[in-house]
């Protein structure tokens, strides 16, 4: 019966919006690849990268033609942060979507993760009474990852723009002091979403995440994953139009009284073990964004 309901919910959500999903060359920590416009790809357990970075050169412009630059208004479309100043013919805009994690689309997240474990909340999680009936977006990230840091302003926008429909949670695998002192202009004091740390990387490991930032968006009826991947990946962003379609379906279900009285996704604060902490890739310093460079560099 539960699987039948899940199928119906997902069928409606699939009609409302299509799923899309991992990055950027820079002085990345050893073993980490950050190709342009993509996620920072972590090495596998044996130290080898999960994927090779795409380093195609730009296609030539026609003779006498200046390269067309994609001008982006991040106030209106913050999900396009990785496309700022990117030429329209950039190879990153032609990539297929890749999900650097186990693919959970159209499955129920509680079947994979009974509870989302965090070590400490740096900004509070809303009470369960306020989370019931809302979609939940969870992003895993690290302070040393430039596209992760750039995605944080988008999370602020989501939390503010969709506060009636969405709970935004970000889980960083770094220590609290790293989060509070990370490069850039996104400070903990300005965060409008629920921000946690977990140096045991437990949620990311449960999803086998190998490229960050990585997001799962879950619907509030059965905790089904309706979108997954890098939310700002050029050409495959989790954009406002997609979210509006999902939330329109959610509103109909909410108005019909179909949602449970408490959130399906549960969070729990607990201390990671030493073994869990050992799974995290440790980097001595953050990768600095290059002043004056396009956002994808």
289 part of a folded domain: no
pLDDT score at 15: 44
The string of pLDDT tens digits covering residues 223-250 is 999 999 999 999 999 999 999 999 999 9
Percent of the chain, pLDDT > 70? 77
Q: What is the CATH number of the domain that holds 94?
A: 3.40.30.10
What is the pLDDT, as a whole number, of residue 287? 57
Lowest-confidence range among 10-24, 63-77, 89-103, 167-181? 10-24
Quick one: which of 172, 173, 217, 213 has its CA closest to 195?
A: 172
pLDDT tens digit string along 32-62? 888 888 899 987 654 444 444 445 667 676 5
Q: In this model, does residue 182 exceed pLDDT 70?
A: yes
Q: Is residue 96 part of a domain?
A: yes
Examine the pLDDT at 107 and tell me if it is beyond 90: yes
Q: Give the rounded percent of residues in the chain with a pLDDT score beyond 90.
A: 63
What is the number of domains present in the chain? Answer: 1
Separation CA 215–CA 60 (nearest Å): 34
**Rounded mean pLDDT, 202-216:** 97
Tens of pLDDT, residue by residue over 110-165, are 999 999 999 999 999 999 999 999 999 999 999 999 999 999 999 999 999 999 99
Burial class of residue 46, CB neighbours in 10 A (0-12, 13-18, 19+): exposed
Contact between 100 and 214 (Cβ < 8 Å) = yes
What are the structure tokens assigned to 39, written together? 């996620």
- Confidence at residue 21, expressed as pLDDT on a 0 to 100 scale: 33
Residue 54 falls within a domain, yes or no?
no
Q: Which token pair is 49?
A: 């990268």
CA distance 250 to 136: 12
Residue 115 lies in a domain: yes
Q: What is the DSSP letter of 49?
A: B
Q: Quick one: pLDDT band at residue 24, thresholds 50, 70, 90?
A: very low
Q: What is the mean pLDDT of residues 282-291?
A: 54
Residue 184 pLDDT: 87
User: pLDDT confidence of 195, banded at 50, 70, 90?
Assistant: very high
Rounded to whole angstroms, how far apart are CA atoms 158 and 192?
9
Structural contact between residues 203 and 270, judged by C-beta atoms closer than 8 angstroms: no
User: What pLDDT is recorded for position 71?
Assistant: 79
Average pLDDT, the chain: 84
**Domain encompassing residue 204:** 2-47+71-277
CB distance 150 to 82 below 8 Å = yes
Instruction: Give the residue-averaged pLDDT of 255-278.
Output: 94
Residue-wise DSSP of 221-232: TT-BEEEEE-TT
120 in Cβ contact with 180 (< 8 Å): no
Residue 271 lies in a domain: yes
* pLDDT over threshold 80, residue 289: no
pLDDT of residue 4: 52
CA-CA-CA-CA torsion for 216, 217, 220, 221, nearest 10 degrees?
Answer: -70
**Neighbour-count burial of 99, counting CB atoms closer than 10 A to its CB (0-12 exposed, 13-18 middle, 19+ buried):** buried
What is the model's pLDDT at position 282? Answer: 60
């Amino acid at each position: 019966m539960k699987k039948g309901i899940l199928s119906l919910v997902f069928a409606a959500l699939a009609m409302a919006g299509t799923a899309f999903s991992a990055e950027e060359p820079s002085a990345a920590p050893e073993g980490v690849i950050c190709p342009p416009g993509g996620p920072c790809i972590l090495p596998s357990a044996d130290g080898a990268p999960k994927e090779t970075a795409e380093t195609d050169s730009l296609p030539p412009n026609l003779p006498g033609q200046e390269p067309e630059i994609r001008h982006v208004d991040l106030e209106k479309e913050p999900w396009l942060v990785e496309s700022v100043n990117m030429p329209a013919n950039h190879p990153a805009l032609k990539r297929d979507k890749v999900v650097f994690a186990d693919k959970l689309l159209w499955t129920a997240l509680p079947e994979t993760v009974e509870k989302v474990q965090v070590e400490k909340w740096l900004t509070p999680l809303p009470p369960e009474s306020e989370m019931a009936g809302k979609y939940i977006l969870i992003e895993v990230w690290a302070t040393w990852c430039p596209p992760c840091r750039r995605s944080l302003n988008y999370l602020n926008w989501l939390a503010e723009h969709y506060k009636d429909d969405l709970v935004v949670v970000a889980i960083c695998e770094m220590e609290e002091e790293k989060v509070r002192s990370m490069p850039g202009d996104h400070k903990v004091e300005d965060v409008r979403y629920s921000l946690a740390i977990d140096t045991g990387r437990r949620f990311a490991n449960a999803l086998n995440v190998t490229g960050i930032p990585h997001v799962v968006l879950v619907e509030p009826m059965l905790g089904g994953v309706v979108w997954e991947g890098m939310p700002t990946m050029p050409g495959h962003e989790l954009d406002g139009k997609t979210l509006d379609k999902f939330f329109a379906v959610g509103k109909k279900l909410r108005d019909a009284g179909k949602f449970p009285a408490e959130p399906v996704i549960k969070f729990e604060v607990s201390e990671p073990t030493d073994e869990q902490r050992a799974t995290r890739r440790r980097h001595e310093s953050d990768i600095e964004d290059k002043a004056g460079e396009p956002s994808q560099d």
